[in-house]
Amino acid sequence: MREQTPRPPLQDNRILANARHPDQTRAALTLLALGVVYGDIGTSPLYAVKETFAPDHGIALNTANILGGLSAIFWVLVIVVSLKYVVLVMRADNKGEGGTMALIALASSAVRERPRWRLFVVALGLFGASLFYGEAVLTPAISVVSAVEGLSVGTHLFEPWILPIAVAILIGLFWFQSKGTAVVGSLFGPVCLLWFAALAAVGVWNIAQNPVVFWALDPRHAFAFVTSHGFASFVVLGAVLLAFTGAEALYADMGHFGRWPVRAAWFGVVLPALVLNYFGQGALLISNPEAVKNPFYLAVPSWALYPMVGIATAATVIASQATITGAFSLTRQAIQLGFLPRMNVVQTSARAFGQIYVPAVNWALLVLVVAAVLGFGNSSNLASAYGVAVTGTMTVTTVLTFFVIRYSWGYPLALCIFATLFFFIIDVTFFSSALLKLLHGGWFPLVLGGTMYLLMTTWRRGRHIMFERMRAQAVPLAPFLESLFREPPQRVPGTAVFLTATPDATPSALLHNLNHNKVLHERVVFLTAEVTSEPWVPFEKRVELKKLGHGCWRMMVRFGFMNEPDITRALEVADGLGLELDSMTTSYFLSRESVVPVGVKPSGMGLWRERLFATMARNAGNAADYFKLPANRVIELGTKVEI
C-alpha cells in the first residue's frame, strides 16, 4: 500500500460549522439556523396563547389578566431563553458542541476526581437525555395537529379530517427520512424566515387595532398574573411554559452553526417576531374574548387564513424534522458513549455530517407519534402532556451547568450557587406546574423517558459487568505472546486485525483462530476503538501505534462522540506510523459475545435486567457495519459470556 498523506474523512467535516467553513457568511449561517434551531419554539404561537388563557384555568379573560399573561410569556422568553440559554448556557460548550450528551461529558470531566459526583452527573444527564425522546414524540404531534386545526377555523367541514390529514403528513415526513433531507434542508431557512415574517405581520396588524398590549412589557403585570389568582396562577404556568418549548435546541444545535449565528437569529428575528405575534393575539382577545378558541388563526385576516395554514404546516414539518434529526443525533452519541447498543446509522449526505438516518429510531418514533395523535385527539390534550418533558430536560441542564461553571471554570462557589438556584427555582416551578397534568397526559413523556432511562442504564451496567467477566477470564496478552513465540505457529501472508475492547487481554477470536486454524498471519494488529468525552478527535491524532515484536502491533483508535467510527479510514494513518497495510490482504477478526443471564451474584442487576440486557445485546447491530469494515474481509467468531 503506497504512502499517502492522511486526510480527514468527508463524514467528519461539519459543513455548517462557521469556523470550518469561512466561505459561508454569518448571514447565511443565521438563515440556516432559523430552519434548524428555531423551528420548535417558532411554532409555539400556534398553541401557547390558546392554552394560557383557556377557560378551564378559571381566570377571567379581562384586560388586566390578558396583559398579565402576555407579560408572563414575554418575561419567560427574556429570562429563560435569552438570559439562561442564549447568554449563559451556550457558553458551556464541549469543544464547540452543545446538547445533553456534550454537557454530560463536560460535567463528568469537570468532576472526574470526585467519583460520587461523577456518578450523579451521569445518572442525572441520562435522565435528561431520556426525557428528550418524550419531547421528540410530542413535538411533531402537537405542531402538525395545531397547524392543521386551522382548516376548521374557516369551515367546520374540515373538522372530521383534521386527524387523518395530520397523520398523513406525519407518515410522509417519517417515510422521507430515509431519503435524506439535504435537498429540502436548503429550503428550511427561507421557509422559516417567511414564517417569522408572517408572525410579525399578523402581530403588528392586530396590535395596531389595540396598542394597549404594549403595557405587558411592564414586569409588574406578569408578577400580578402569577400571584393574584391563587392556585389557578400556579396551574396556568403549565401553559405559559409552552411559549419556550424548543429552547433546548439553541444549545443542542449550537455546534452546527457557532454561537454568533444562533444568537443573531434569536435577537434579530425570532424574539421580535414571537413577541409581536403573542401581543397581537392578546390584542385580539382584548377586543374579542370569544377568539380564545383559536386566537392564532382568528388573528389572521380572513383572506390570508388558508395561506397561513399552508405556511404553518410547512413550519411545523420543519420543526418536526429538526426534532427527529435531534433524536437521531442523540442516539448516535449515546451509542458511541456506550449508553445504547449499536444500531444501523445511515449517512444520508456526503457533505453534511448531521444528515443521518437511524431506521430503528425513525419507525419507533412514527408509531409513537401516530399513537399520540390518535390517543390525545387534539392540540389542547397534547399540550397537557408536552410540558413535562421540556421542563424536566431544562432542569437537568441547569444542574449540570453548575458543575461546569464551578469545577471546570472555577467560578466562586457563592456565585455558582446563586445563579444555579435562580434558574433552578424557575425550572422546578414550571416542572411542578406541568406535573399537575400528570393524569391528563403528563404521564406519557414520563413513561417514554423512564423506559429510555431503563434501557440506557441497563445497557451501560450490563456492558460493565460483561467486560469485567471477560477481563477476569481473559489471558493477559503480553505473557501469552511471549509463550506463543517460543514455539511459533505457522505464519501466513497478510494482516490480521483483531478488534478487542480490552487491549491488555488476548482476544478470544485469536485463541479460536489458533485453536482451529493453527496459523498466525505475518502481521497481527490488536485494535481497540475508544470513544472519548470530546466531540471531535482530529484525524491526525486518532491513531496510536505500539510495536509488540514478532510482527505484532497494538493500535488504539480514538473517536470523538460526534465522529463517525470508520476504522478503515482511520487505518490510513498507520502507513505514516510504520505499519503498511494492504486492504486486499487484511482480514478483520471480531468476537461476537453471546450473553447468557444466569443470575450470578453480585452482578448489580436483577435477573430480569440481565435478561433485558441479553435481549439488547442479541439485537445489537453488527460491529462490522458499525465500524465500516469491508464485509468480505470480516471473520466473526462467537463466545459465550455469563453474567
Considering the domain boundaries, does residue 4 fall inside one? no
> Does pLDDT of 622 surpass 90?
no
Q: How far apart are CA 601 and CA 37, in angstroms?
A: 47
Q: Are 69 and 282 in contact (CB under 8 A)?
A: yes
Q: Is the dihedral of CA 98, 100, 103, 104 positive or negative?
A: negative
Give residue 16's pLDDT.
37
Residue 598: CB atoms within 10 A of its CB come to: 11
Considering the domain boundaries, does residue 7 fall inside one? no
- Tell me which of 74-83, 179-188, 195-204 is least confident: 179-188
Statement to judge: residues 81 and 218 lie in one domain: yes
**% pLDDT > 90, the chain:** 39
Considering the domain boundaries, does residue 460 fall inside one? no
Statement to judge: residues 489 and 429 lie in one domain: no
Q: How far apart are CA 386 and CA 444, in angstroms?
A: 9
> Confidence class of residue 295 from pLDDT cuts 50, 70 and 90?
very high
Please identify, among 451, 484, 502, the residue that sits at the C-terminal boundary of a domain. 451
Give residue 2's pLDDT.
35
Statement to judge: residues 338 and 209 lie in one domain: yes
Please identify, among 451, 468, 494, the residue that sits at the C-terminal boundary of a domain. 451
Looking only at the bridges linking them, the beta strands covering 490-499 and 519-531 are parallel
**Start-to-end Cα distance in the chain:** 43
The whole-chain average pLDDT of the chain stands at 85
The more confident residue out of 197 and 100 is 197
Give residue 458's pLDDT.
93
Considering the domain boundaries, does residue 1 fall inside one? no
**DSSP β-bridge partners for residue 464:** none
Give residue 12's pLDDT.
44
Phi, psi of 637 (to 5 degrees): -125, 130
Statement to judge: residues 193 and 296 lie in one domain: yes
Average pLDDT estimate for 186-212: 92
Statement to judge: residues 276 and 193 lie in one domain: yes
DSSP 211-269: GGGGGGGSHHHHHHHTTTTTHHHHHHHHHHGGGGTTTHHHHHTHHHH-HHHHHHHIIII
Give residue 5's pLDDT.
35
> Does pLDDT of 307 surpass 90?
yes
Average pLDDT estimate for 413-438: 92
> Does pLDDT of 281 surpass 50?
yes
Give residue 17's pLDDT.
39
Please identify, among 451, 467, 496, the residue that sits at the C-terminal boundary of a domain. 451
Considering the domain boundaries, does residue 43 fall inside one? yes
Statement to judge: residues 67 and 206 lie in one domain: yes
Statement to judge: residues 424 and 358 lie in one domain: yes
Statement to judge: residues 426 and 549 lie in one domain: no
Q: Which residues contact 254 (CB under 8 A, 6 or more apart)?
A: 90, 93, 96, 97, 98, 99, 262
Considering the domain boundaries, does residue 64 fall inside one? yes
Give residue 11's pLDDT.
41
Give residue 181's pLDDT.
58
- Which of 585, 643, 587, 576 has its CA nearest to residue 610? 643
Q: Are 204 and 281 in contact (CB under 8 A)?
A: no
Q: Are 441 and 376 in contact (CB under 8 A)?
A: yes
Looking only at the bridges linking them, the beta strands covering 586-596 and 490-499 are parallel
Give residue 438's pLDDT.
86
Q: What CATH number should be reported for the domain holding residue 28? A: 1.20.1740.10
Q: How far apart are CA 573 and CA 9, in angstroms?
A: 12
Statement to judge: residues 512 and 419 lie in one domain: no
Summarised one tens digit per residue, pLDDT across range 589-609 is 988 777 777 766 666 678 888
> Does pLDDT of 380 surpass 90?
no
Give residue 283's pLDDT.
96
> Does pLDDT of 1 surpass 90?
no
Give residue 194's pLDDT.
95
Give residue 4's pLDDT.
37
Summarised one tens digit per residue, pLDDT across range 154-180 is 777 788 889 999 999 999 989 888 776
Statement to judge: residues 562 and 419 lie in one domain: no
Q: What domain range is 134 assigned to?
A: 21-451
Average pLDDT estimate for 289-310: 93
Statement to judge: residues 406 and 534 lie in one domain: no
Statement to judge: residues 444 and 563 lie in one domain: no
DSSP reduced 3-state for 498: strand
> Confidence class of residue 351 from pLDDT cuts 50, 70 and 90?
low
Give residue 208's pLDDT.
95
Report the b/e string of 227-265 with b at 16+ CB within 10 A. Answer: eebeeebebbbbbbbbbbbbbbbbbbbbbbbbbebbbbb
Average pLDDT estimate for 400-411: 90
Average pLDDT estimate for 71-77: 96
Considering the domain boundaries, does residue 10 fall inside one? no
- Which of 87, 45, 129, 120 has its CA nearest to residue 326? 129
Name the domain count of the chain.
Answer: 2
Summarised one tens digit per residue, pLDDT across range 3-24 is 333 333 334 444 333 334 444 5
> Highest mean pLDDT: which of 73-82, 110-119, 122-131, 354-363?
73-82
Considering the domain boundaries, does residue 399 fall inside one? yes
